Homo-oligomer: A and B are copies of this chain.
């Protein structure tokens, strides 16, 4: 082995939608879980979950495993973001990080056991992070918002059944702008990416909205001919 070879690691930026406060009426916003570093460098600072790559796992598998081990989260969507490898990202040691980004559903996000060393932060306003992780979060946010506009990735934030209003609220939360409900409905229906079910969501104090499910024959991510492993 070359003693000058950089250390290789994977990290993951995880996004989930959470209510801004405990009230039901407040709109959801983007949050991400961070882990506290328990050793130098940057001991005590918050950082993206990550770790080394196992000898018998692919890069994506390594990201998913690290995710599960450090935050107890299983992601519905996992995509490679970028490989970061400038010289100055870590003091004393050369580290090349292959970073993934993940989307988890709200019910799954609850499983992330918050504690002293794992906590959720607003994605748009994270604290000062270890290494170059602030830059990485910023880039991941850009990619997410970009991809929302040309793919059906929003579905990864939702469960099996959802109303068109819920789907619209995902777009509004990520893109941070209100969308016209009628036009949104027309656009989504024209793509055939969702399928209407017979069920309706009862219980609200208004006309019960129809529940939809995702059209499985649709490509969620539009990532081209990539072997997503």
Contact = CB atoms under 8 A, between A and B. Distances in A.
B85 A82 contact: no
Nearest to A82: B80
A224 B146 contact: yes
Interface in A1-27: 1-8
B56 A85 contact: no
A166 interface: no
A91 to B, nearest CB: 15
A127 to B, nearest CB: 19
A192 interface: no
A52 B2 CA distance: 10
A225 B55 contact: no
Contacts of A98: 83, 85, 96, 98
Contacts of A96: 8, 53, 59, 98
A58 B87 contact: yes
Interface residues of A, number: 35
A218 interface: no
A58 to B, nearest CB: 5
Contacts of A85: 53, 58-59, 98
B1 A225 contact: no
Interface in A204-229: 224-227, 229
Interface stretch (A35-43, A106-114, A134-142, A168-176): A134-142
Interface in A40-69: 52-53, 55-59
Contacts of A146: 224
Interface of A: 1-8, 52-53, 55-59, 80, 82-83, 85-87, 94, 96, 98, 135, 138-139, 142-143, 146, 224-227, 229
28 contacts: A1-B1, A1-B3, A1-B5, A4-B55, A5-B8, A5-B52, A5-B53, A6-B8, A6-B53, A8-B96, A55-B94, A57-B87, A58-B85, A58-B87, A59-B83, A80-B82, A80-B83, A83-B98, A86-B227, A86-B229, A96-B98, A98-B98, A135-B225, A135-B227, A138-B225, A142-B224, A142-B225, A143-B224
